[in-house]
Amino acid sequence: MKITMAERMNSFQESIFSELAYYKKLKLSEGQEIVDLSVGSPDTPPPSVVTETIAELAKNPNLYGYTMKGTDDFHEAVAAYYDRRFRVSLDPRSNVSLLMGSQDGLVHFPMVLCNPGDYVLVPDPGYTAYETGVSMAGAKLYPMPLKKENQFLPDFSEIPVEISEKAKLMILNFPGNPVPAMGTKAFFEAAIAYAKKYNIVILHDFAYSELYYDEQPISFLSVDGAMDVGIEMNSLSKSFNMAGCRIAYAAGNQEIITMLANFKSNVDYGVFFPIQAAAAKALTDESNFLNDLRAIYKNRRDVLVDGLREIGWNVSEPKASMFVWAEVPASFTSKEFAIELINRANVVVTPGNAFGSWGEGYVRIALVQSEEKLKEAVRNIKQSGILEEVTNQ
């Protein structure tokens, strides 16, 4: 029998992450110790209220049926969280929709709005799931370059009018992945004005809303006019270390939320009730968990950034998220430098061009290891001599 792959699968080729995994496996097979800073997966536990709620409710045999959608408690918790943290008023019944992790929403959402051939405006470099969602919808991706000279914010004036007129959706992500840039109020106001001019829906990916160091990030929904043009997606994966639980939400414009909820009702049966209950507890928890979590990441950031600067790699200090976006020495491409770090320093990072062509010249470093492991990574890089070779060229 001849098995033929669908043409859309041509968009889902093996990624650089698979290649990095191969090199990592090779080093491990040689008995080497690896410091893996490539994947943005939290390494610390969720709040105790989460684990205790799941453990208790999971014992109830009556809670194993389909939830179908978000529970009232979960929707109300999202609304309460937005009111408390961002002074945004949401109707839990019409402005909120449950997601099975934010990636679920990010990948599916273009299919809700876009017909084949429509354009989706996507940050470049940007999270890889954006391109996947655009491909699944049969739409066309138009990259919005994130340039250092623009503080890594897209410039809407650079988008050709003919593209703007054909665009149905724009995805934004601040604080971002892989670039930990912060969106300003003026920037969001410009995005809203642009969206209204060309009738484009905005999806703001706010997954790193609670991982900041000094200044709290702005919720897109808190800016005047945002509720007219778009929605915000947020996840409990990063803020509450619930990555494996696969729970998130979309919030914002009622009409858009209704469309998304209708789509979701056809593709899944909701999230396990104990996880929804635990997520609701996390969102309404007023303990010091988030402050403590931010302190952990801030200490890690300082250890890594200060350590790398001391050995001659002048990386920028991020204001938010769990990533450092570091320029590579001019004599290397992003991929070449990432491979050299694995081969010579046993440190795994992600080349910037894995997130789009404008990521060339950078690597993404995830703050997902202990301070001791980050110090080890710095020592390994110093001992490898890579930076000294570049300096002496």
Give the number of domains in the chain.
Answer: 2
Task: Tell me how far apart the alpha carbons of residues 144 and 342 are, in angstroms, rounded to a whole number.
Answer: 30
Domain end position, chosen among 284, 315, 336: 284
The residues, ordered by sequence, that sit 6+ positions from 29 with a Cβ below 8 Å of its Cβ are none
Q: CA angle at residue 174 from 187 to 307, to 5 degrees?
A: 120
Instruction: Tell me, yes or no, whether 197 and 319 share the same domain.
Output: no
User: Considering the domain boundaries, does residue 391 fall inside one?
Assistant: no
According to DSSP, residue 176 is labeled -
Residues 22 and 150 in one domain: no
Q: What is the CATH number of the domain that holds 327?
A: 3.90.1150.10
Least confident of 18-32, 61-75, 284-298: 18-32
Same domain? For 319 and 369 the reply is yes
Domain membership flag for residue 2: no
392 pLDDT exceeds 70? no
Question: Each residue of 352-371: pLDDT tens digit?
Answer: 999 999 999 999 999 999 99
Same domain, 235 and 87: yes
Place of tokens 């699944």: 136
pLDDT in tens, 270-299: 999 999 999 999 999 999 999 999 999 999
Alpha helices in the chain (DSSP H): 16-29, 48-57, 72-86, 102-113, 128-137, 161-166, 185-198, 226-229, 236-239, 254-267, 273-284, 289-310, 334-340, 371-384, 386-392
Helix, coil or strand: residue 391: helix
Q: Rounded to 5 degrees, what angle do the CA atoms 324, 325, 327 make? A: 130
Mean pLDDT of 61-67: 96
Structural domain harbouring 125: 48-284
Residue with tokens 């919030």: 251
Q: Tell whether 75 and 17 lie within a shared domain.
A: no
Which of 284, 304, 319 lies at the terminal end of a domain, its last residue? Answer: 284
Q: Has residue 392 been placed in a domain?
A: no
- pLDDT score at 15: 67
The Cα–Cα gap between 127 and 103 comes to 10
Give the mean model confidence (pLDDT) for residues 193-207. Answer: 98
Could you tell me if 244 and 272 are in contact, meaning their C-beta atoms sit under 8 angstroms apart? no
pLDDT class of 193 with cuts at 50, 70, 90: very high
User: What is residue 18's predicted lDDT score, i.e. its pLDDT?
Assistant: 76
Same domain, 109 and 232: yes
Within-domain flag for 393: no
In a 3-state reduction of DSSP, which class is residue 46? coil
Residues 85 and 186 in one domain: yes
Q: What is the DSSP string of 116-135?
A: TT-EEEEEES--HHHHHHHH
Same domain, residue pair 67 and 119:
yes
214, 103: one domain: yes
Show which of 265, 284, 303 is a domain's final residue: 284
Please give the pLDDT value at position 26: 85
Based on the domain organization, do 59 and 32 belong to the same domain? no
Q: Is 60 exceeded by the pLDDT of residue 391?
A: no
Q: pLDDT grade, residue 390 (50/70/90)?
A: low
pLDDT of residue 393: 47
Mean pLDDT to the nearest integer, 126-151: 96
Asked, for residue 147, whether it belongs to a domain, the answer is: yes
pLDDT band at 178 (very low <50, low <70, confident <90, very high): very high
Asked whether residue 316 is domain-assigned, the answer is: yes
Q: What pLDDT is stored for residue 13 in this prediction?
A: 65
The answer to whether residue 32 sits within a structural domain is yes
Same-domain pairing of 121 and 194: yes
Residues in the chain: 393
**Does some domain include residue 308?**
yes
CATH of the domain at 202: 3.40.640.10
DSSP 221-287: GGSTTHHHHEEEEEEHHHHSS-GGG--EEEEE-HHHHHHHHHHHHHH-----HHHHHHHHHHHH--S
Q: Mean pLDDT, the chain, as a whole number?
A: 95
Question: Which tens digits make up the pLDDT trace of 309-366?
Answer: 999 999 999 999 999 999 999 999 999 999 999 999 999 999 999 999 999 999 999 9
As a whole number of angstroms, the distance between CA 349 and CA 90 comes to: 39
Q: Could you tell me if 122 and 170 lie in one domain?
A: yes
Judged against a pLDDT cut of 60, whether residue 48 lies above it is answered with: yes
